Structure 1
Amino acid sequence: MSNQTTPQPIDPYRHLDLQLNPDGTLTRLRHIPDTRASSDPSLPIPVLSKDLTFNPSNHTWLRLFLPRTALSSEIPKLPLIVFFRGSGFIITTASSTVFHDLCVEIAHGVNAVVASVNYRLAPEHRLPAAYDDAMDALRWIRTSTEEWLTKHVDYSNCYLMGNSAGGNIAYHAGLRAAEMGNDLEPLKIKGLILRQAFFGGVQRSGSELRLENDKVIPLSVTDLLWELALPVGVDRDHEYSNPRAGNGVEKVRELGWRVLVSGNGGDPLVDREKDLVELLEEKGVKVTWDFEEDGYHGVEHQDASKAKKLVEMVKGFVSQSSY
């Protein structure tokens, strides 16, 4: 007889501390620490931050991060990184400490202004709501009179970045922005930065099967996230989930944008990200990719050395794309 026991199925609601209500909304039970923005230059902090509403009717806002060094009059205008956080489209905000801290590191390490977009959450606001909010944010940025933008941002040097579900949002916002062409001027997007981007499909990938019971995002959890986020009645082969089902990548190539894709071997999503690289290369898009053998989903939030490597990678990508 074998001593091995079959792993118990992972309850995705319990894993995420969620309760589904009869009306289809969620009660989010987990306490997630927040950090308040601070724009006070007298504080001994390397990066200042402030919150700004961009669509009052949707209660959507963004948190702007400004490196303290930008306050010096000798500093030239800085690149803009528009950031979309992860969390499966369904939890956290742009003020959640884990994402606030990452944006501080990016702003400081890359020497860029970062705008972290607080988009609406599913299932109360299913996709494409988050993509709509991303575009609202870009339109607001291009016309805003906010001094941190007008005084310190080089509008011709903009990047869309996201991790996990935020990488999915950055990708789809990028496709929409590419279709708009010059309509976003003076904002000019130079590239997309997709960190452990969340994509899916009906057919299981090798890494999904290999890491079915992953401690961070087991397969039952990713299935639930898609079930809650996608439009009602569609499956994971919808274009919002499966990039091979969509169009628009050719426009990214025509505009000369570069794309950075980064992932880790211990992440169930990694094979999806590798497939995205293949798709982009097939379409002639300039792709830079980095896949580490070790590391798990969200490792940069737990391991300072991984966070530092990510920031250095983003810094190198931005500096190469700036010319």
Structure 2
Amino acid sequence: MSKKNEDHELFKIVHNPSDGTITLLRKPDPHSPPQSDPTLPIPVLSKDLTINPKNNTSLRLFLPRNALTHDNNNKLPLIVFFHPSGFILMSAATTVFHNFCLQMADNLAALVASVDYRLAPEHRLPAAYHDAMEALHFIKASNDEWLTKHVDYSTCYLMGSSSGANIAYHAGLRAASDHDLDLKPLKIKGLILRQVACGGTKRTESELRLEKDPILPLSDADLMWELALPVGVDRDHEYSNLTVGDGGRLLEKVRDQGWRVLVSGSGGDPLVDRNVELVKLMKEKGVCVVSDFEDDYGVHGVEFRHSYKAMQLFALLKTFISHS
């Protein structure tokens, strides 16, 4: 692994100057347990389902409590969510993501299924993409009553933030283009991509302008890709640079499926220019894409730091889903 000249606070990664290696310090992050007791005075219940015990992958489901008392014919849209943190940190149980999914399920009146996928560098990409597809197969075949009784399988969205949006994007490309893939009765209606993690060897204006960004400095973004991408490839690999490789061709499959795609971002995010480029490519390929880039300079992951930003995002998602 290449030598770095600085510590990397965002990912708890430290350069070891004696031998040039890098140590990934996975300090325990705050976790929240699921709460599935319907007698609890809480608006959203949650529980975990194991997807693949060998890979230690799972789903955390979030169900609005009032769904338990509604007519089963009034079913909820399904949002399959992939958490952020650079492909290498945290989980669906991390408190900040747990709370975000609770609020999203409550505000959107949806069942949210947050995927706990394998992390790099122990499991480099495309491991997380494989886990995403396995999660979709698990959901469509599951006999869990929260899913079978309360989910409208014909209204499914793949959603992620940052690295999670990258996973949702690549899973969507695979689901749209694989003619042999049978997800019935699950029907994907669209993708919800928030501040998509994507890269490239040529710097964008927003990356250079925000090189020392306190949330996502350029050095941390580069190191994230070094840890997450297959060994021996650079940031122009199609897992990172979404404008190269088969991505453009596969977007035509997304178009043919009739999916709608929402791409949202913030002016103060170093990734904003790359997200704008992705929207441009989607439009060129005829994808029905809705873009929302805030006029203010909200930072990367702002919705996890400020509740009012989360509420603004939920309002955007509610509108997007209602028009799908």
* Native 8 Å contact 2:7 2:15 kept in 1: no
Match of 1:299 among 290, 298, 302: 302
**What TM-score do the two structures reach when normalised by structure 2?**
0.93
Question: Which residue identity lines up with residue 295 of structure 1 in the other structure?
Answer: G
Match of 1:13 among 8, 14, 23: 8
Correspondence for 2:320: 317
The Cα shift of 1:122 comes to 0.2
Correspondence for 2:186: 187
User: How well do the aligned residues superpose, as a CA RMSD in angstroms?
Assistant: 1.7
The Cα shift of 1:180 comes to 2.8
Match of 1:162 among 140, 157, 160: 160
Which consecutive residues of structure 1, in runs of 5 or more, have no partner in the other structure? 1-8
Question: Which residue identity lines up with residue 302 of structure 1 in the other structure?
Answer: R
**What TM-score do the two structures reach when normalised by structure 1?**
0.93
List aligned pairs for 1:32-47, cutoff 5 A: 32-47=29-44
* Native 8 Å contact 2:211 2:270 kept in 1: yes
Correspondence for 2:53: 56
The Cα shift of 1:64 comes to 0.4
The Cα shift of 1:135 comes to 0.3
* Native 8 Å contact 2:210 2:270 kept in 1: yes
Question: Which residue identity lines up with residue 114 of structure 1 in the other structure?
Answer: V
Match of 1:79 among 64, 77, 80: 77
Query: What is the alpha-carbon distance in structure 1 between the residues aligned to residue 15 and residue 56 of structure 2?
Result: 23
Query: What is the alpha-carbon distance in structure 1 between the residues aligned to residue 223 and residue 111 of structure 2?
Result: 34
Count residues in correspondence.
312
Deviates most, 151-160 or 237-246:
237-246
Partner SS for 2:255: helix
Correspondence for 1:125: 123
Query: What is the alpha-carbon distance in structure 1 between the residues aligned to residue 189 and residue 7 of structure 2?
Result: 38
Deviations 1:146-181 (A, max 9, x none): 100000001110000000000000000000111235
Partner SS for 1:41: coil
Question: Which residue identity lines up with residue 11 of structure 2 in the other structure?
Answer: L
Correspondence for 1:225: 224
% identical equivalent positions: 61
Deviates most, 28-37 or 306-315:
28-37
Query: What is the alpha-carbon distance in structure 2 between the residues aligned to residue 96 and residue 20 of structure 1?
Result: 26
Which consecutive residues of structure 2, in runs of 5 or more, have no partner in the other structure? none
The reply to whether residue 68 of structure 1 matches residue 65 of structure 2 is yes
Query: What is the alpha-carbon distance in structure 2 between the residues aligned to residue 317 and residue 20 of structure 1?
Result: 43
The Cα shift of 1:14 comes to 4.0
* Native 8 Å contact 1:80 1:159 kept in 2: yes
The Cα shift of 1:32 comes to 1.4
Partner SS for 1:201: coil
Partner SS for 2:107: helix
Query: What is the alpha-carbon distance in structure 1 between the residues aligned to residue 307 and residue 92 of structure 2?
Result: 20
Deviations 1:199-243 (A, max 9, x none): 001100110000000000100000000000000000111000011
* Native 8 Å contact 1:158 1:187 kept in 2: yes
The reply to whether residue 279 of structure 1 matches residue 281 of structure 2 is yes
Query: What is the alpha-carbon distance in structure 2 between the residues aligned to residue 103 and residue 283 of structure 1?
Result: 32
The Cα shift of 1:19 comes to 4.7
Deviations 1:242-275 (A, max 9, x none): 1111321110000000000000000000001000
